[in-house]
Amino acid sequence: MKNKHMHLFLVGLLFGSIVMNPVQALTDTLGIAPAQEQEAANLLSEPLNSFEKSENQEPSPDNKDVFSESEAKENLLENETSSSLEDDAAMNEEQSDNSKELSESQSSESNTSESMKDNADQNQIHKKDSKMLMAPMEASETFTYDLTVEYDPLKFKSLVIDLPIPEKYIQDELYFRLLLGGDDGNFYEYKSDQQYFMTGSSHSNPVIGVNTLQMSWSNFTQGWSPDDYEYFGFTVVIHYKDANGNDLFTAAYNIRFTNSHLTIQYVDESGHEIYPSRRIDDSRNQPYNVSTSDYIPQIPGYELDTSKLPSNAIGVFQRGEFTVTYVYQKAQIDYTDILIKDSTIHTQDTWSPIDNFIEASSKEGKQLTYEEFLANGGIISGTVDTQTAGTYTVSYTLNNLTKDATIVVKPRLTAINVSDSTIYVGDPWEAEDNFESALDKDGNDVDFSALTVDASKADTSKAGSFDVTYTYDGVTSTAIVTVKEKQTAVNVHDSTIYVGDNWEAEDNFDSALDKDGNPIDFQELTVDASKAETNKAGTFEVTYTYDGVTSTAIITVKEKMTAVNVHDSTIYVGDSWQAEDNFDSALDKDGNDVALSDLTVDASKADTSKAGTFEVKYTYDGVTSTAIVTVKEKMTAVNVHDSTIYVGDNWEAEDNFDSALDKDGN
């Protein structure tokens, strides 16, 4: 056999018959504990068509068995000494001249659920011990693949099969080696722990994407005679490494041959097919049994002709296509049947007898529709009053067979509860605002979203009213929405204050009304006085808001001109004195003259009866001035003398004046 692949040959005779259990071999090699051995031994217990990753195993740092292409060629030369393998190679070379391309293909175990079941039954008849192959422990991950391939070794063609690579490694460059036999061999009997010796295999290193193996047909026969052929598959376990020899993962491939195809036919006495045939695919020489009820269907209008039972209903699979035929004859029995159902409806529902009819069968076993049931003499008796709750019986009769259907009519509990409402022009409104609740015909709550709502007349932009209809399951309720003009008002006034005056937002509030015209307390308003500033001259705005209506008050802050002007004075003990004596003038905050009478005067300390001082306070609009009054002792004196004059003397008043002092002693 000549191809671009590297050929590896192993002389099986040098190793004798099948040797040690691979579980024990790998256990001894790697030092695996018994518990791990048991876990590994379950590898081949996976169902067909599985693709599962086992739990990670720590890679063995010493296991770096990667064959380079040159090493593979050396092995090829070393192992070509086997004469039996040379014969195989010669035969393969000869057969390849007379053959076309290989026709095998990989597929799932079966194209139908019936075929899967049949093949699963056949898998149980393998003669070998059912002990499963262990999971190799060298790699960190283990994958199992169950594959089937259409292949017949006695066509004397090599087996070429593509082995899938896990998706996570599909782009990697992978290396592996194959040992065709011995303690570390890669090949086993199908899903078994029994090693199998291959007499020839070829493959390529490295692998990217798909691993393609090619094996001699002679591996799968017992000799040259077709009667000796009995092998139906094998298992190969491959340890994949990277280019540096590091373990990546292990894949176990369970490869099953399909080369025998059994068709079970069901015909009448004339040989016409009366029931769909069944197909079972398996390997040659595997036993089968299609004589059970699973493979002999009940066919309406027919019965099995037991005088013509097939002689090959039990046997072993033959190479290629073969047939088992069951012959049926017309049934002599009456297959009349009527299949109906009970039902529950609600008052006001529509009902017809066809609602409870499923199907019927004629005497001959032909399936009948409702129309065919009536056309074949079917009779319906009884009726249902859908306006009245109760239980009714309707009978269906065909060929003296009567079946009764029970129809329960329940009260319809469907209800929609809505409410009228009043809103105001410009208010937001949704149809759901007027929805209270709804019930279906069984009294279960119904969500608003399940209703059909007609709000086409809704208009909240002007005063008036509109209707909204809510419908569910034939029941309609109407809500009336009244739209009123809003009477909402907020009344405030502007004002003027002076620097330092006390001020509250409520000082500028006059009144407010809600949308119905009712008075609103100041506390219900939203007031924004964030700009208020009374410590300096200027203006600020204050907004007052209620129910979307806002009014603004402007507050002017002026500088105060208030002034009180007084003066100090000096008087003398006993002098008359008034507080007005020390008052000069006064101005209000706007600069207007203010009379003394508008001032607050504190003269409680005034005392003119003795020498000393006292204070008098004059206050207006928060401004106070103080006058100090000094009371002095009086020093006033007039000195004169008496005198005597004579008649006719000149006399002046000054003649008797000596001296005088004012109150200050001057």
Note the pLDDT tens digit of each residue in 309-365.
Answer: 999 999 999 888 999 999 999 877 788 999 999 999 999 899 999 999 999 999 888
Q: Identify whether residues 346 and 465 lie together within a single domain.
A: no
CATH number at residue 322: 3.10.20.320
Final residue belonging to a domain, choices 330, 351, 370: 330
Q: How confident is the model at residue 225 (pLDDT cuts 50, 70, 90)?
A: low
CB-CB contact of 181 with 15 (8 Å): yes
Q: Is residue 117 part of a domain?
A: no
Q: What is the pLDDT of residue 309?
A: 96
Residue type, 546: Y
Q: Identify whether residues 66 and 140 lie together within a single domain.
A: yes
Q: How many residues does the chain have?
A: 666
Q: Is residue 119 part of a domain?
A: no
Q: Identify whether residues 450 and 510 lie together within a single domain.
A: no
pLDDT at 394 over 70: yes
CA nearest neighbour of 475 among 458, 455, 493, 450? 450
One-character DSSP codes across 497-542: EETT----GGGGEEEEE-TTS-B--GGGSEEE-TT---SSSEEEEE
- Mean pLDDT, residues 595-601: 94
Q: What is the pLDDT of residues 400-433, one digit of tens each?
A: 999 999 999 999 999 999 999 999 998 899 999 9
Between 35 and 381, name the one with better pLDDT: 381
φ and ψ at residue 393, rounded to 5 degrees:
-120, 130
Q: How confident is the model at residue 222 (pLDDT cuts 50, 70, 90)?
A: low
Q: Is residue 139 part of a domain?
A: yes
What's the total number of domains in the chain? 6
Q: Is residue 104 part of a domain?
A: no
**Residue listed under structure tokens 């262990």:** 134
Burial 131-150 (b: 16+ CB within 10 A, else e): ebbbbbbbbbbbbbbbbbbe
- Mean pLDDT, residues 249-266: 94
User: CA 274, 275, 280, 285 torsion: positive or negative?
Assistant: negative
Between 309 and 120, name the one with better pLDDT: 309
Task: State how far the alpha carbon of 552 is from the alpha carbons of 274, 486, 488, 536, 539, in Å.
Answer: 96, 19, 15, 21, 13
Q: Identify whether residues 175 and 252 lie together within a single domain.
A: yes
Q: Identify whether residues 457 and 577 lie together within a single domain.
A: no
Q: How confident is the model at residue 124 (pLDDT cuts 50, 70, 90)?
A: very low
Mean pLDDT, all residues of the chain: 80
CB-CB contact of 382 with 392 (8 Å): yes
Q: How confident is the model at residue 92 (pLDDT cuts 50, 70, 90)?
A: very low
Q: Is residue 118 part of a domain?
A: no
Percentage of the chain beyond pLDDT 70 is 77
Q: Is residue 101 part of a domain?
A: no
CATH number at residue 541: 2.60.40.10
pLDDT at 551 over 90: yes
Q: Identify whether residues 321 and 368 lie together within a single domain.
A: no
Final residue belonging to a domain, choices 458, 480, 502: 480
The 3 state secondary structure assigned to 74-115 is HHHHHHCCCHHHHHHHHHHHHHHHCCCCCCCCEECCCCCHHH
* Bond preceding residue 206 cis, omega within 30 of 0: yes
Q: Is residue 110 part of a domain?
A: no
Q: Identify whether residues 546 and 576 lie together within a single domain.
A: no
Range of the domain at 53: 6-96+124-258
Q: What is the pLDDT of residue 227?
A: 52
Q: What is the pLDDT of residue 462?
A: 94
Q: What angle do CA 224, 227, 229 make, to 5 degrees?
A: 70
Q: Identify whether residues 21 and 58 lie together within a single domain.
A: yes
Q: Identify whether residues 81 and 192 lie together within a single domain.
A: yes
Q: What is the pLDDT of residue 622?
A: 87
Q: What is the pLDDT of residue 561?
A: 85
Q: Identify whether residues 244 and 144 lie together within a single domain.
A: yes
User: Rounded CA gap, 386 and 383, in Å?
Assistant: 9
Within 8 A by CB and 6+ apart from 46, the residues are: 52, 144, 146
Final residue belonging to a domain, choices 382, 410, 438: 410
Burial 529-552 (b: 16+ CB within 10 A, else e): beeeebeeeeebebbbebbebebe
Q: Identify whether residues 517 and 626 lie together within a single domain.
A: no
Q: How confident is the model at residue 88 (pLDDT cuts 50, 70, 90)?
A: very low
Q: Identify whether residues 419 and 398 lie together within a single domain.
A: no
Q: Is residue 26 part of a domain?
A: yes
